[in-house]
Structure 1
């Protein structure tokens, strides 16, 4: 039986990319402690050859119909096996669909291949999760990511992440917490579990902001960044960024 939220995705991939799909893998929140109210369905497809422009356009058109709204949002990444095995950095992503890009897709943008350092943590999570929806275990089609490449990929993405703080506050704060946690412990944790690790290490004045982000992620509170919390968002993010920089400079614990 398909995992919840993927019942449309597997047939769509097989129909769109016939004879080229090697494996389809669940990762993210669904495999790191369970889906939360705001969680995406995170799926990686590994294929033999690049998709055509027409195939990518069709994937976008169909995903716009089944992702988001009343349904779980889908994040789908497609990689060509030869681009990630043997492993090299930065790897290349063949296709990306994510709801945060919906406006671009609706304007007709079709995502194509591009270098993607973010594949380092993503493939690490796929291998750790070991949750095939189709095909063999992920270790049969993917190489492990060297720890140093994982570290430099997650650190390199921090400036771009922080640039989205005002528009995606909860996710940015929790992702910064996860980056610090991964650098310090070597473990890739769910976002709320990362916040659990970080909160005792935060100065008291920053804890309410991260605690609220965690509570919203878990579905325990409604999302609100009002006059009480909003002034503390940027200082909290700044502290997390400095902690990440310090941890990256000294290496893992």
Structure 2
């Protein structure tokens, strides 16, 4: 019959070993409150950053998104939607890190095994809180970036071009942006300058997105040259 492995006591712990073990036990016992406190500080700081960004977004600029040229209006809407989603996720993660999940915790019955289990659960909760804090910070920064992008597009995006008027008279066509109407005359801003047309001479009037290429009305079609004799 063979004998199994024998277990012998190791060397006695030194004062340094005992101090290190006590230090590790203290860190494990207080790590969750420290993470909760850090989560509160991060939440307050990020809330201040977000309030500053909202104040920055309220600075006077272009307020009517419909005046933006396509597709910049749709891009502003997408950026605002992304900002809202990221902000919601960030708030949920920060609340999770600062206050924990809404669930019950089993109580110890007094045995050493139950106490060790509670310490292990606290450590796992600490890891989950740290992960939630990191995700909350990341999503807050994404929310801020999306909000700044939306504001920048609103301020600096190209403006939608105004509709042009195509005015037809008996002798010529004029196309441009209307400037004013006074004394029975319509003034248009064309590519060559301002043109004034008498409303009494107008035989046709319509709105167009872009002005057609200038061409003389009634111009004859070009005639093909005759074939060259050999």
Q: Shared fold by TM > 0.5? A: no
Give 1 or 2 for the bigger CA radius of gyration: 2
Relative contact order, higher structure (CA 8 A, sep 6+): 2
Q: Normalising to structure 2: TM-score of the pair?
A: 0.22
Q: Normalising to structure 1: TM-score of the pair?
A: 0.20
